[in-house]
Structure 1
Amino acid sequence: MPRPKRFSVITLALVLVFSSCVYLFAWSPVFTVKRIEITGAPTAESKVLITRASEITIGEKMARIEPRSVEQRLKSFAWVKQVNISRNWIDGHVHVDVVPRTPKAFFNGKTLDLSGTVFELPGFKGTELPMVIASNPVDGVQAIALFTSLPRSFSLKITSLTARPDTNFTMKVRHENRLLNVKWGPSEANDLKIQVFNALMKEKENKRVRTIDLSAPHAPIVK
């Protein structure tokens, strides 16, 4: 007879402990969100967007926050590459760490990264990025590869870069007060092409030149 009674007592104790834990984590004000930290958002506007989309609020029960659901919501933004959510149950600190995509060029009114992903980053200016013109993101990535391979002293002069399906490139280059149309050709012998460009710009007879063909750097054409 004592055994069933002891079993009942143990069962009741376990039920009480379980119920207390459920109340403590799901309903008690003890484990609630006291601080929300957003890191990785590259602009003030993107940080506000992440804060709102996370739907995490101060005073919310920690147990009711589902990291996977939050991550899925935030990853719906094309500019978000990765998201990590962590919760500190002791001090009520929720950390949302965002890994954003890095814009490398403007493409069709939006931005493009090295993976070929097209996205719009809220609040991003990127005045130093080139304008890439291409029929598709893949060709756009080829243009970015060319742009990033060029010396900064030259790439800063490029205002737009057009990629052709045959991997030939043209670009608009601002030199002093002139905007030049430069036929670059394939992405090869780039250092030589820059040397030829600089040499041509020093010649007095080229002061009014508007178009330069560097596709064959040993025989450049100016117009």
Structure 2
Amino acid sequence: MEIRRICTIAEKEFSENIRGRRFLLVLALFLIIAAIGAWQGIQDYTDALDRYMQTLQVTGIGVVSSLAHVRPSILDVFMRMGETMSILGAVLGIAVGFDLISGEKEDHSLKMLLSHPVYRDEVITGKALGGIVTVAFAMAVALGIALALLLISGHVPSSDESGFILIFGLVSFLYLTCGYAIALAMSVVADRSGKALLYALVVFFFLSSVVPAA
């Protein structure tokens, strides 16, 4: 397996993804939902922080230590953001991956690609890597928007909170990648993009509804 060829395919896939109208549309919706969730979380955090400070003023500084554990956390902003973007985030991952291979089969470009000195596993690996980078890009932009809104509102995360925010971003990225991985697997199995999309949605909703209930 040639790393250089894989990187070339991944770069091409990423470039095509970020210029595709379908991806840009889903990305725009994803970012809007993420921004709305972050802003709602900021409003809730600000209100909770105001109530906390008022409580300190009423009860006195002597009980600060006993009340410290109930101080609102900036992390609540990102938890609210995660709640609002969870479904659309998975849809974004599926939108990136459902036609990676099946789409190539439909327009017969896969045979043309494989006629060059490149192996099938290199094609799949390169496309998968390009899709993962695309998902990471989308999550990074969403996280950047949330942080920008947070700073604009006058809230600066502490060093500990910054670490947890990075963990939140990583977990969210892995969640989006799960949706992408499901779509990619269905794209390899299905001979049509429509079937791959349908299979991916069925598998995702099954895993997100039936498995947690079990």
Relative to total residues, which structure has the larger helix share, 1 or 2? 2
> TM-score with structure 2 length normalisation?
0.23
Q: Which structure carries more relative contact order (alpha carbon 8 Å, separation 6+)?
A: 2
Q: Point out the structure with max Rg over C-alpha.
A: 1
Normalised by the length of structure 1, the TM-score is 0.22
Greater fraction strand: 1
